[in-house]
Amino acid sequence: MPEHTPIAELTTEWKEYFSGFSAGTHDLVRELAGRHCEALATVFYEKMLENATAQAFLSHDQVRERLHASMQQWILAIFNCQGEKEIGEAITHQVTIGQVHARISVPVHLVLRGSRHLKDAFISHIGASPRTTPEEKSAAIRLAVGTIDLAMEVMSHAYSTFHDRNSKAKEGYRLFSLTQNIASERERQRSSLLDWENQLMFGHAVGLGEHQITDIRASEFGLWFSHKGAHAFEGTSEVNTILDTMDRIDTALLPALLAARDDRDTYIARLRELRDQVRAVTYHLDRLFEQNNELESGRDVLTRLLNRKFLPVVLTRQVAHCNRHGQQFALLAIDVDHFKQINDTHGHEAGDAVLQQLAVLLINQCRGGDYLFRLGGEEFLVLMVDIDGKSAAHRAEELREAIARESFSAGTDGHLRVTVSIGLALFDGHPDYQRQLSRADDALYRAKNGGRNQVAIDGG
């Protein structure tokens, strides 16, 4: 929470609010909350689900199953907290909920909509409560409504704080992406596009069939552009032009080229057309790079990988992308084994050199569309885009082996061997990326406990 609304301040406010009501009013509200919490939770979600936008966030089975139960808990908890400690815990809980909503991008107005209906339903229950005087009912209504509003206020605050931070990081990420070794990135992507074209020409020359030729979208360049380039240059017209051109190449030009194989003139015409379209992609790509300044920000100083700050931006985007396109992605939590010993034996500088060499190795082992983070110390995270469980497990194992095989330079101390433990978790459709991160961390913990230098797979 920001400085001007620290938890202590809110706790005092909440406590003062509660103290304005008699014990009898608290008892009545608590009793009604306990008796009707199931029906109240149902109202909350039914009303939210009436809204089409909400269905995008509440469609996941896990979410639906859990939410009803946690909503009931939530209702009980906000009315049951009494002492300073309990109120403080309730506030911390609202902060967490607000952050989860921000992570999965639930619009605030939807939560407020649910809350409005919840209050309405609660008021009806108070109104129908027998043997209660109008004054008691009125006080109970004020307490119930005020408590729900207080909880919503804390939640919305946490939501917007997280959101603002995320927006700033988004902006930063855009700058970062643009400046990620800008000159070399541009050359790298140009040459991977050229490679694809050459391979295509070669494939055609030797008569490869449709299934042996890689689509441009699935090529190294295509993956990089769809997952990184398009985001980095978001908002520019060239992005859509490139995406549309790639689609046109895959869906129209490649099949047309294949179909024209036996007719020399048409074949040459199609080849020209294809070459022109690839040129167009190169041209727009150059423009994108040129339009942007060479600013540097957000890179981990030692390894030049992405730093932790960009995790929310990248993961939120990846989750939305995968849910939209029915794809999967894998998270690999990687931690160097016994790194402290390396520092202790060979010195901190040698330790730094190992981390740098490891980062280079990770870059070389991963595809252009994958994301590499240094989370801190000797902890890394790899996000493998567009991949299924089997391939991810295979690639994680390859990565582990490549690291174990590598001879790491320890400065004047010669060379040394380094191993890593890896925890792998596959995207399961849940909108909150934090859960996948935790699953990868848990798997990493198992890999460490299992003896290190191994890959542990979540759920495996």
Binding site for ligand GTP (CB under 6 A): 302, 335-340, 343, 348, 351-352, 355, 377-378, 448, 452
Looking at the Cβ atoms of 65 and 344, the one nearer to ligand GTP is 344
CA–CA distance from 203 to each of 195, 210, 214 (Å)? 12, 10, 10
CA atoms of 16 and 358, how far apart (whole Å): 55
Looking at the Cβ atoms of 158 and 355, the one nearer to ligand GTP is 355
395 conformational bin, left if phi > 0, alpha if psi -120 to 50, beta if neither: alpha
- Rounded to a whole number of angstroms, the minimum distance from the CB of residue 353 to ligand GTP is 8
**Is 368 in contact with 221 (CB distance < 8 Å)?**
yes
CA atoms of 158 and 163, how far apart (whole Å): 8
- Rounded to a whole number of angstroms, the minimum distance from the CB of residue 336 to ligand GTP is 5
Looking at the Cβ atoms of 109 and 340, the one nearer to ligand GTP is 340
Contacts 24+ apart (CB under 8 A), 412-418: 413/345, 413/346, 413/347, 413/350, 416/342, 416/346, 416/350, 416/354, 418/336, 418/337, 418/342, 418/354, 418/358
CA atoms of 242 and 284, how far apart (whole Å): 7
Looking at the Cβ atoms of 287 and 446, the one nearer to ligand GTP is 446
Looking at the Cβ atoms of 377 and 460, the one nearer to ligand GTP is 377
Looking at the Cβ atoms of 238 and 378, the one nearer to ligand GTP is 378
- Determine the distance from the C-alpha atom of residue 383 to the mean position of all C-alpha atoms in its chain, rounded to a whole number: 10
Looking at the Cβ atoms of 273 and 379, the one nearer to ligand GTP is 379
Q: Which residues pair with 371 in a beta bridge?
A: 383
**Burial of 246 from C-beta contacts in 10 A (0-12 / 13-18 / 19+):** buried
At residue 395's C-alpha, the angle toward residues 392 and 399, to 5°, is: 135
Looking at the Cβ atoms of 100 and 333, the one nearer to ligand GTP is 333
Looking at the Cβ atoms of 185 and 337, the one nearer to ligand GTP is 337
Looking at the Cβ atoms of 57 and 380, the one nearer to ligand GTP is 380
Looking at the Cβ atoms of 125 and 452, the one nearer to ligand GTP is 452
CA atoms of 189 and 184, how far apart (whole Å): 8
Residue identified by tokens 């919490």 is 37
DSSP label of 429: S
Looking at the Cβ atoms of 308 and 340, the one nearer to ligand GTP is 340
Residue identified by tokens 């600013």 is 295
CA–CA distance from 172 to each of 177, 286, 325, 413, 420 (Å)? 8, 21, 26, 39, 30
CA atoms of 92 and 154, how far apart (whole Å): 9
Residue 235 tokens read as 């908002």
Nearest to 358 by CA among 422, 298, 413: 422
**Is 391 in contact with 249 (CB distance < 8 Å)?**
no
At residue 344's C-alpha, the angle toward residues 352 and 377, to 5°, is: 40
| CB-nearest residue to ligand GTP | 351
CA atoms of 364 and 459, how far apart (whole Å): 28
Nearest to 177 by CA among 235, 249, 240, 245: 235
